[in-house]
Amino acid sequence: MSNQTSPAASVVVIGDALIDEIRDGAGVRELVGGAALNVAVGLTRLGVTTTLLAMVGDDEAGDHIREYLADHGVALIASEAPHGSSRAVVRRAANGEPEYVFNEAAQRRSIRYTAEARAAIERADLTVISCFPFDVPAEVEALVDALAGAAVAIDPNPRTGMLHDRAEFVRGFERLVEGAQLVKVGADDAAVLYDGDLDGLRARLRARGARAVVATAGADGAVLETDAGAVAAPIAELPGRIVDTVGAGDATLAAVAAGLVAGAPTSRGEWTALLRRAMDIAAATCRAEGGLLRTPESLADAARGIHGS
- Residue 304 has a pLDDT of 54
- Residue 303 has a pLDDT of 58
**Averaged pLDDT, 196-220:** 95
pLDDT in tens, 175-206: 999 999 999 999 999 999 999 999 999 999 99
Contacts 24+ apart (CB under 8 A), 273-277: 273/1, 274/1, 274/224, 275/214, 275/222, 275/224, 275/231, 275/232, 275/233, 276/1, 276/233, 276/236, 277/1, 277/3
pLDDT in tens, 6-49: 457 899 999 999 999 988 877 888 999 999 999 999 999 999 99
Contacts of 74 (CB under 8 A, 6+ apart): 37, 40, 41, 44, 50, 51, 52
- Residue 298 has a pLDDT of 83
**Length of the chain measured in residues:** 309
DSSP 8-state class, residue 30: E
Give the pLDDT band of residue 2 (cuts 50, 70, 90). Answer: very low
**Averaged pLDDT, 299-308:** 57
- Residue 244 has a pLDDT of 82
In this predicted structure, which of 120-134, 177-191, 232-246, 292-306 has the lowest mean pLDDT?
292-306
- Residue 308 has a pLDDT of 40
Q: What is the pTM of this model?
A: 0.92
Rounded to whole angstroms, the Cα distance separating 78 from 301 reads 34
pLDDT in tens, 225-255: 999 999 999 998 898 888 888 889 999 999 9
Give the pLDDT band of residue 285 (cuts 50, 70, 90). Answer: very high
pLDDT in tens, 46-97: 999 999 999 999 999 999 999 999 999 999 999 999 999 999 998 866 555 6
| Contact (CB, 8 A) for 157 and 189 | yes
- Residue 277 has a pLDDT of 97
b/e map of 146-170 (b: 16 or more CB within 10 Å)?
A: bbeebbbbbbbbbbeebbeeeebbb
**Averaged pLDDT, 280-308:** 80
- Residue 95 has a pLDDT of 56
Give the pLDDT band of residue 100 (cuts 50, 70, 90). Answer: confident
